[in-house]
Chains A and B, each alone.
Chain A
Amino acid sequence: MEKPEMMQENLTRPWHERIDPVTKLLLIAVLTLLSFVLTNIFAEAALILATIFLLLFSGKLGSSMKALGFCAFMILTMLLIQGLFYPHNETLAFSLGAIAFYQEGLTYAALLGCRIIVIVLATNFFMRTTTISENAKYLENAGMKYKTVYLLMSVCYILPQMMQNLKKIQLAQRARGIGEQKSLIQKFKTILPILIPLVIKTLDQSMSRSISLQLRNFESKKRTVRALRRTYLMDKMFHRALGLTSIILIGCKVWMLINK
């Protein structure tokens, strides 16, 4: 009865929703490891291009670009510091007045920067194409104990809640002009009366929650494992293939380090 409906649903869903969350996680692992195995800047650039295509084809490129904002600054300072002071600096790349930038340092920083970008983009693919409840249902169906699934997922849920709390507080702070005080001690004196009650409230909430979870039998062995509303493309095969690739890549990296 259900099957034709499900199949039809699957055909109309975009491809990235037909890939299961664990495959996506393994994909992050493989891309990250690959970026560490590669030591050539052009190969890294190709890898970045590959992850960009991954995001492009899933229509999530735009939203992922914002995530690069934070690391962009770090990568710039890295280029600066390594370009100037990298211990193996020899070849002059260019100089701005009296300040000399060296090729070795710049390449090294660029390599590290590329790795960071690969990690950020690959993780963004996971972040933008999965939902928390989908992940929870998948893990539970895959046989993970509900207690553990609950733990992981409840952490995901608490972050947006805290963000909301925080926004309210920040508004109140701005209204009271906190943040304009210059001295550090003054800043602490003004944030502690806000931070402490918030922390205690959070702990109190967590106590209520854990009591309520017990009252609501969340550890019950009778719990119905809810059927997945989605089916996934060849998830077992992907897991094996990507898992194996990860192990091989780790092997490569170790071998490279030994032979260095």
Chain B
Amino acid sequence: MDKKTSSAPSIWRVNLTPAVIGLIPAAVGINYVAKAFAEGLKLPVWLGSLGTFLASMLAGPIPGAISGFINNVIYGLTLSPVSTVYALTSIGIGIAVGVLHAKGGFSSARKIFVSALIIALVSSVISTPLNVIFWGGQTGIAWGDSLFAVLVANHVPVFIASFVDEFVLDILDKVVVAYVACLIYKQIPKKMISYFKD
């Protein structure tokens, strides 16, 4: 109990320190590169939240959420306009990763898996209404959308079909991203970790 109350204020700081201001563009850049990698190699995952994961792990949920938010807004204004609305999803992912990381959710292979499932759930819950509003429920990934089509054809309500479409993809994506992020985090020099933690 004691520990919780003393650690709570530290992870929820909102202060935009210069370290965080440096970290956020890096996180967006990493998101972009990872996404481009996945597209270039035709991987069945997006990987576009890798930088947000790392920002949350390094600096906490608020900087992570800000990274995610700015990521989508800037993407929207420079590369693909519709991605702006998914800023909400990115905020959710940033907060979820930051909280889980602070609570030790990334400390073992099994915990990472569970954490990834929780993050996938958060992401899907936020994304599904957006998918329905903007894309009639689709996600834009071919095999997820085929699943969606099959479900809708069998009279499953659009919201549920869309959620299944999104969640299946999100599980795969977030599990891969979580493991890759941890792999990278372990290789970050201690000096850098303590710099961004402050």
Contact = CB atoms under 8 A, between A and B. Distances in A.
A contacts B: CB pair < 8 Å: yes
Interface of A: 67, 70-71, 74, 77-78, 81-82, 84-87, 108-109, 112, 115-116, 119-120, 122-124, 126-127, 147-148, 150-152, 154-159, 161-163, 165-166, 170, 173, 178-179, 184, 187-188, 191-192, 195-196, 198-200, 202-207, 209-211, 213-214, 218-219
Interface string B148-187: 1100110101100000000000000000000010011001
A206 B70 CA distance: 16
26 contacts: A67-B81, A81-B145, A112-B134, A115-B134, A116-B134, A122-B81, A147-B16, A151-B16, A154-B21, A155-B71, A156-B74, A156-B78, A158-B29, A159-B78, A162-B33, A163-B36, A166-B37, A173-B40, A179-B41, A192-B180, A195-B33, A199-B51, A203-B26, A203-B58, A210-B21, A213-B18
Contacts of A203: 23, 26, 30, 54, 58, 188, 192
Contact of A191 (B16, B24, B32, B41): B41
Interface residues of B, number: 57
B28 A159 contact: yes
B161 to A, nearest CB: 9
5 smallest CB-CB distances across A and B, nearest first, come from A210-B22, A206-B26, A123-B81, A85-B152, A206-B22
A155 B32 CA distance: 11
A112 B187 contact: no
B79 interface: yes
A219 B18 contact: yes
Given A155-B74, A191-B41, A206-B25, 15 more contacts: A67-B81, A74-B138, A81-B148, A82-B136, A116-B82, A119-B81, A123-B77, A124-B81, A155-B70, A157-B25, A162-B33, A179-B40, A195-B33, A199-B184, A200-B184
Interface of B: 16, 18-19, 21-26, 28-30, 32-34, 36-37, 40-41, 43-44, 50-51, 54, 58, 70-71, 74, 76-82, 134-136, 138, 140, 145, 148-149, 152-153, 155, 157-158, 180, 183-184, 187-189, 192, 195-196
Contact of A199 (B28, B40, B54, B76): B54
A161 B26 CA distance: 11
Nearest to A194: B37
A202 B24 contact: no
A206 B23 contact: yes
A147 B18 CA distance: 9
Contacts of A202: 26, 29-30, 33
B21 A151 contact: yes
A159 B71 CA distance: 10
A28 to B, nearest CB: 8
A148 B70 CA distance: 11
A184 B44 CA distance: 9
Instruction: Output the residue of B50, B136, B183, B196 with the most chain A CB within 10 A.
Output: B136
